[in-house]
């Protein structure tokens, strides 16, 4: 975020003194999360709502999640370009090529959802599908107040698959360490 040089201020939202110390050392400001927004099940929206309540000065806000360790400046720059073009919310996605199936309940059989089994597509034959990868969400105050992270004119930044890892459990963390050359 610092390297992009495009953020007016960088805040770390936490309820941990250790994390707050690290954040301050790195030049970020610290937002002390409310009790309600610091639970294990609190959503990103609740975290954003908690933040804007104490910070009336921001209209545009980018939520960058530390669970996506392969964030790169180029992705942030692309998001900023979108914002300059008038998009209200911009977030990161990954292009995936997954063949999906759905259960037919009474019969307990399965049907293909996004392709024809008589013509199974190869990766090069279709555009795939865009899925959120949780790396970042840029949005605006009035959307957050209305309970939305994504609203208004919505744009996306496509992240390469190799950079899309989302750390969700200890195994993912090891994977991230390995991928970054730390292991």
- Our finding on whether 103 is near a second copy (CB under 8 A) is yes
For residues 63 and 101, give the distance between their C-alpha atoms in angstroms, rounded to a whole number: 33
Q: How many CB atoms lie within 10 A of CB 134?
A: 19
Q: Which is nearer to a second copy, 17 or 120 (CB)?
A: 120
Nearest distance from C-beta of residue 142 to a second copy, angstroms: 14
- Our finding on whether 62 is near a second copy (CB under 8 A) is no
Catalytic residue of the set 8, 95, 120, 177: 120
For residues 178 and 183, give the distance between their C-alpha atoms in angstroms, rounded to a whole number: 5
- Our finding on whether 45 is near a second copy (CB under 8 A) is yes
Catalytic status, residue 120: yes
**DSSP 8-class letter at 24:** H
Beta bridge partners of 172: none
Nearest distance from C-beta of residue 130 to a second copy, angstroms: 5
- The tokens for 39 are 């639970």
Are 136 and 70 contacting, i.e. CB atoms less than 8 angstroms apart? no
User: Site mask, a second copy, residues 111-140, x = CB under 8 A?
Assistant: xxx---xx-x-x------xxxx--------
**Residue in 155, 159, 163, 167 binding a second copy, rule: CB under 8 A:** 155
CB crowding 22-36: b at 16 or more within 10 Å, else e: ebeeeebebbebbee
Are 36 and 42 contacting, i.e. CB atoms less than 8 angstroms apart? yes
Nearest distance from C-beta of residue 46 to a second copy, angstroms: 11
Q: Which residues sit at the interface with a second copy, rule CB under 8 A?
A: 41, 43-45, 87, 93, 96, 98-103, 108-113, 117-118, 120, 122, 129-132, 147-151, 153-156, 162, 171, 174-175, 178-179, 183
Q: Which residues are catalytic?
A: 120
């Amino acid at each position: 975020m610092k390297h992009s040089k495009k953020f007016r201020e960088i805040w770390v939202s936490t309820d941990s003194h250790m994390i707050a110390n690290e954040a301050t050392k790195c030049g970020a400001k610290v937002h002390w999360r409310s009790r309600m927004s610091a639970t294990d099940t609190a959503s990103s929206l609740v975290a954003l709502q908690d933040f804007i309540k104490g910070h009336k000065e921001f209209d545009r806000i980018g939520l960058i999640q530390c669970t996506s360790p392969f964030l790169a400046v180029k992705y942030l720059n692309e998001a900023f370009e979108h914002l300059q073009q008038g998009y209200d919310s911009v977030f990161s996605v990954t292009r995936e090529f997954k063949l999906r199936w759905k259960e037919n309940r009474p019969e307990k059989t399965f049907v293909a959802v996004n392709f024809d089994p008589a013509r199974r597509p190869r990766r090069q034959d279709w555009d795939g599908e865009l899925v959120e990868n949780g790396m970042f969400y840029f949005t605006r105050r009035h959307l957050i107040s209305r309970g939305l992270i994504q609203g208004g004119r919505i744009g996306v930044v496509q992240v390469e698959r190799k950079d899309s890892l989302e750390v969700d459990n200890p195994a993912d963390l090891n994977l991230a360490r390995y991928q970054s050359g730390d292991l």
